A and B are shown apart, each in its own frame.
Chain A
Amino acid sequence: MFVYTIKRALMTIPVILVVALFVFLLLRLSPGDPAAVIAGDYATAEDVARIREKLGLSEPIVVQFASWVGALLQGDFGTSIFSSKPVTELIKQRLEPTLLLASCTIIFSVIVAVPLGTIAAFKAGSWTDRTVMLFSVGGFSVPVFVLGYILIYVFSMNLRILPVQGYKSPFEFGMIPFLRHMILPTLTLSVIYIALLARMTRASVIEVLEEDYIRTARAKGLSETKILMRHALRNAAVPIVTVIGLGIALLIGGVVVTESVYNIPGLGRLVLDAVLARDYPIIQGLILFFSLVYVLLNLLIDLAYTFFDPRIKY
């Protein structure tokens, strides 16, 4: 398993290289002069020339790629065109809110969705099951930003029990203000994820409940609760863990919207601002960063399988 981990870690290198190539070509292959594209519609000729110089666009394309990858290897993701700050520093600054929002969402979703899905599976066909599934369909259907504004309208503006927007770092302001600001974004982001996870858990548990060893467990005289907790859930875990992992990857899209709705200064907002400003170095840096996160997440998921299922060995 140790060897496998090392092997997989090494395999991230070619993956990241391919992503890097794609990211690099993204700008170079877009129609027109990249410098002009970055500079925007109202730029002067001097602006364009300045940008071209700054990005080294007058060099041959192979040289550009080599020097760019060389810089990447030294941890240099480039510099923002507009704020002139290094991209790595920008990412570092914005990492905390996003990381915490994503963690809260995952934890909350798992805590809610896994039991919901399990109960629905155990009572498959009953009204409990149907209610859960109805909620699940609803959760899939509501767009994140609509839900966000509804929650703000109800809890912040009408009931006035939660702040409208903003972010308070727990390290600066303490837990209570942090959580108060986190509740609505977490709820907003969680709904679709709970819907997905509850469905998956239900399907997985229903399948496991048909297995012979569940019958064996009944023949031993186990209560239905114990059968669910001890025998069904752990066997159902592999597909559930897969979905949790995929869900974290999917979260990133939701993070962009949620952070905009709640005005949270995280990576999602950074993405949005960079795209709107056509700040290509930041966009490139973020794509690389996210793909690295994806690759590592996949590795973690694969390693988690061995924990839940002793038959899986690497």
Chain B
Amino acid sequence: MNKLLEIKGLTVTLPSKSDRKYAISDVSISVEKNEILCVVGESGSGKSVTAFTVMGIHDKRALTISKGEILFDGYDLTKIGEDQFRKFRGKKMAMIFQEPMTALNPVMKVGEQITEILEIHTDLGPSKRKSKAIEAMENVKLPDPEKIFHSYPHELSGGQRQRIMIAMALVLEPDLLIADEPTTALDVTTQATILELIKEIQVRRGMGVLFITHDFGVVADIADRVVVMQHGIVVEQDRVNQILAHPQHEYTKMLIGSVPSMVPPQKKSIDVQAVLELTEINKSFGKSSLFRKDRIVNAANKVSLKVAPGETLGIVGESGSGKSTVARCAIRLIEPDSGSILVKDIDIAKLRESGLRYLRREIQIVFQDPYRSLNPRRTVGQSIVEGPMNFGQTEEAAVRKAKELMEIVGLKPDTFNRFPHQFSGGQRQRICIARALAMEPSILIADEAVSALDVSVQAQVLELLENIKKQFSLAVLFITHDLRVAAQICDNIVVMKKGAVVEFGSTHEIYTQPKHTYTQALLQSAPGQKYF
């Protein structure tokens, strides 16, 4: 065995007032040379704490290592001093992070951020440093590295930024790479190329990689071995084929079972009059003034779609495809430049705010991040009754209704007076759904409504959405970047790219016979198709 990193019985203690005592407890895992070890788990599983502790960059004020060893390169990392540890970081072990936008310093040129590592760890002069950085950038297949060297992070795309992170991590050819959800914030097609890149470099250099992820699709594509964590404990570890084919632990089985299938279920076609119909919606952002020509972005370009009661229409696309712009136009949070928006046969595209008021009842929206879409200083009950009372319902009636709805979405009505922070992410999303339903809308827009949730919770919320759609015969506009989720919940799908609809059809048609090359590329990029 060529053990590169060996974690033995590692226990990390949380501060005394936390809801549990340990962030991770008795974790024993090892990474060998020339392998990718995936650590999988949902939020709160302790997978990131494990990674940060190995790197020595955990929050030392809150987290203390109370037991165990981290053996690396002949040292126990829990025992060595900070000065010595610093020499390992960036040189022998390196790390890449989830969100490449925030993980790079926004006011420093990306080239300098790479050469900085060389400056601390080597004696190379400035010109040598630069040429080595350029070489590292070529290795991660960045186009025109000379030019990108002098760019700032905000001038690059998400994929390019993550390539910069990887170039930075690998410039000194470390033995161990720790990757913390490195593709989670990226588009599927970008994710596929970045995963390929990591795999390729790992094989070429014989590097050991500790890869943190919540996505079993990614695991299936990239892992050699898998460690499954839950509530700070390792529940199972084995070779990837073994885990995927014969999971032993209930939690592993549940995680694998929760990955939505790429094969859409058969659905009945819906033959009812549409309640929401968008025709040739155009919307562009940016304007050119007398003094300056700004870049104009066509966020929506002749977009037409319609949704009928009882139907879930998916809008699928990558970031910048215009899917959110279309949704915002549909509820008139923004005004389209041209085109018509029919809600129950009334064109609202150019209505004024006063005329729009009745529409606010008809269309409700559930946002992506349930942590930010509820006012933290109001009880969930207040949040739910606010809308109906604003439209003239008595408090008594609104409260009664709110409690009914809480029951429907699977919350206890006696939690009416609690605050959002007392709920989990999945529960908060249920609250948001109840808040939307309180207005008795005919149209519900779900803008990436399950993207921020753990897979197990995601499945439950999707089921809830499906149920309330039937119960209230809602027309649902479901915006997502996740093709697996879309396959399961949508009746029909609109595929968008750069503001335009490239393909429209029933979910079954789109997934079995995609016509547009972009749809085909998108479907191929979904990770883990060998297994799921």
Contact = CB atoms under 8 A, between A and B. Distances in A.
Interface of A: 3, 7, 211-213, 215-223, 226, 230-231, 234-235, 308-311
Given A3-B292, A212-B97, A234-B107, A221 B102 contact: no
Given A217-B105, A222-B116, 18 more contacts: A3-B291, A212-B97, A215-B97, A216-B104, A218-B57, A219-B55, A219-B89, A219-B95, A220-B90, A220-B116, A220-B168, A221-B86, A221-B90, A221-B120, A221-B121, A309-B106, A310-B154, A311-B154
Nearest to A237: B107
Contacts of A215: 57, 97, 103
Nearest to B106: A311
B117 interface: yes
Contacts of A218: 57, 89
Nearest to A231: B105
Contacts of B165: 216
B435 interface: no
A310 B116 CA distance: 19
Interface in B133-163: 152, 154
Contacts, number: 73
B322 to A, nearest CB: 23
Contacts of A221: 86-91, 117, 120-121
B103 to A, nearest CB: 5
A212 B292 contact: no
15 contacts: A3-B292, A213-B104, A215-B97, A216-B95, A216-B97, A219-B90, A220-B120, A221-B87, A222-B86, A231-B105, A235-B105, A235-B106, A309-B107, A310-B107, A311-B154
State the 8 A-B residue pairs at the shortest beta-carbon distance, nearest first: A221-B89, A221-B90, A212-B102, A220-B90, A219-B95, A213-B105, A218-B57, A212-B103
**Which of B88, B95, B103 has the most chain A CB within a 10 Å cutoff?**
B103
Contacts of A230: 108, 116
A219 B57 contact: yes
Contacts of B94: 219-220
**Which of B57, B88, B91, B99 has the most chain A CB within a 10 Å cutoff?**
B57
B313 to A, nearest CB: 36
Interface of B: 55, 57, 86-91, 94-95, 97, 99, 102-108, 116-117, 120-121, 152, 154, 165, 168, 291-292
Contacts of A3: 291-292
Contact of B99 (A212, A223, A309): A212
A311 B152 contact: yes
B107 A235 contact: yes
Contacts of A311: 106-107, 152, 154
Nearest to B99: A212
A215 B57 CA distance: 7
Contacts of B102: 211-213
A311 B155 CA distance: 9
Contacts of A222: 86, 116, 120
A310 B95 CA distance: 26
A215 B165 CA distance: 13
A220 B99 contact: no
Nearest to B86: A221
Nearest to A220: B90
A47 B152 CA distance: 68
A212 to B, nearest CB: 4
B291 A7 contact: yes
Contacts of B90: 219-221
Nearest to A210: B59
A226 B89 CA distance: 15
Nearest to B101: A212
A255 to B, nearest CB: 34
A219 B171 CA distance: 13
Contact of A213 (B88, B91, B95, B106): B106
A105 to B, nearest CB: 28
A231 B105 CA distance: 7
Contacts of A231: 105, 108
Contacts of A213: 102-106
Contacts of B55: 219
Contacts of B87: 221
B15 to A, nearest CB: 13
A8 to B, nearest CB: 12
A223 B89 CA distance: 11
Contact of B86 (A223, A234, A235, A310): A223
B341 to A, nearest CB: 34
Contacts of B99: 212
B153 to A, nearest CB: 9
A219 B121 CA distance: 13
Contacts of B88: 221
Contacts of B105: 213, 216-217, 231, 235
A213 B168 CA distance: 13
B212 to A, nearest CB: 14
A79 B117 CA distance: 65
A235 B107 CA distance: 7
Contacts of B106: 213, 235, 309-311
A308 to B, nearest CB: 7
A226 B97 CA distance: 21
A16 to B, nearest CB: 22
Nearest to A224: B82
A3 B88 CA distance: 49
